[in-house]
Amino acid sequence: MGIVAKTLVATAALAMLGAPILARQRADAPQTIAYGSEALQRLDLWTPQGAQKAPLVMFVHGGGWKRGSKDNAVSRALPAHLLAQGYAFAAIDYRLVPDASVEQQAADVAAALAALLARSDSLGIDRGRVVLMGHSAGAHLVALVGTDEQYLRAAGLSFADIDGVIPNDGAAYDVPVQMAQAGRFMARTYTQAFGTEVVRQRALSPTLNAAAPNAPAFLLLHVQRPDGIAQADALAEALRRAGTRVEIGSFPGEGLRGHAEINRKLGEPDYPATALVDAWLAKVFAN
């Protein structure tokens, strides 16, 4: 039985049994670290108590490249869930469109990671075990940083500093294709972020940058949005052609409601995507 079937069966079984939704855990207040001089160049970091070399998961929020923050666009369950497994968890802010470009946002992702790794010993982080995770626009940004090494190199890093990437329900991995299919609701958002020049749009497309080398492993998550499915499948195929390890997790949920739910509920023990992410992280961090 495949991942999709298993998750659907598990979800149905819970509903039939009337299983209670487990209460969300809250992590203790994080420490906030500046990784640049601007107000939005900040990150929150949670580390397990007494940790000396905790694997790091760094999260990049969504919001159409122009809104959102580490304070309101992160699953409330995820920090505590990952801490319980012995992982450190960071959630970053980054400069937003139109005051900053998407290129600068990708640079911020790399700079935030570099700031954490530079202080890894004092922060209790294992700089040899690192995964980037992002949702929506954040999924695009972590996929871009994981396929176009220029952003990491500018921050003094490389793909060797990342063990894996988890883009969660993004839909702009091939920007020109996505923009051509976008309805009126999203057209302005995409144009504001990526402009009208196809050369630039292609340069900011993870799928079109996925020829080797890339970050070593990807886990692509999506709900049942046609554009999200098509974009994830195309990125996965491009990564596989390059010899990059890639898995896909497909989960229930449609439209914007499903898109928000997979981010909001990730980390809740009874949410199907949580088990897949847990297993994938354990495997990646064990290598």
Closest C-alpha to 120, from 150, 157, 168: 157
How many other CB atoms are found less than 10 A from the CB of residue 196? 8
Query: Starting from the edge strand earliest in sequence, which strands make up the sheet with 88-92, in order?
Result: 31-34, 42-46, 88-92, 54-60, 125-135, 164-168, 217-222, 245-250
What pLDDT, on the 0 to 100 scale, is given for residue 239? 98
Tell me the C-alpha distance between 192 and 183, whole Å.
14
What pLDDT, on the 0 to 100 scale, is given for residue 19? 28
Burial letters 76-103, b for 16+ CB under 10 A, else e: ebbbbbbbeeebbbbbbbbbbbeebbbe
Residues in the chain: 287
What pLDDT, on the 0 to 100 scale, is given for residue 183? 79
Tell me the C-alpha distance between 279 and 206, whole Å.
25
What one-letter code names the amino acid at 150? Q
Q: Which residues have CB under 8 Å from 6's CB, separation 6+?
A: none
What pLDDT, on the 0 to 100 scale, is given for residue 26? 54
What pLDDT, on the 0 to 100 scale, is given for residue 4? 36
What pLDDT, on the 0 to 100 scale, is given for residue 233? 98
What pLDDT, on the 0 to 100 scale, is given for residue 8? 34
What pLDDT, on the 0 to 100 scale, is given for residue 10? 35
| pLDDT tens series, the chain, 287 aa | 343 333 333 333 333 222 222 334 456 769 999 999 999 999 999 999 998 999 999 999 999 999 999 999 999 999 999 999 999 999 999 999 999 999 999 999 999 999 999 999 999 999 999 999 999 999 999 999 999 999 999 999 999 999 999 999 999 999 999 999 987 778 999 999 999 999 999 999 999 999 999 999 999 999 999 999 999 999 999 999 999 999 999 999 999 999 999 999 999 999 999 999 999 999 999 97
Hey, what are 274's tokens? Answer: 């949580």
Backbone dihedral angles phi then psi of residue 221, each to the nearest 5 degrees: -105, 145
Judge contact between 219 and 247, C-beta under 8 A.
Answer: yes
**Crossing angle (nearest 10°) for helices 272-286 and 3-17:** 140
What pLDDT, on the 0 to 100 scale, is given for residue 137? 98
Closest C-alpha to 189, from 62, 94, 91: 62
Predicted model pTM: 0.91
Distances (CA, A) of 2 to 15, 94, 191: 20, 37, 37
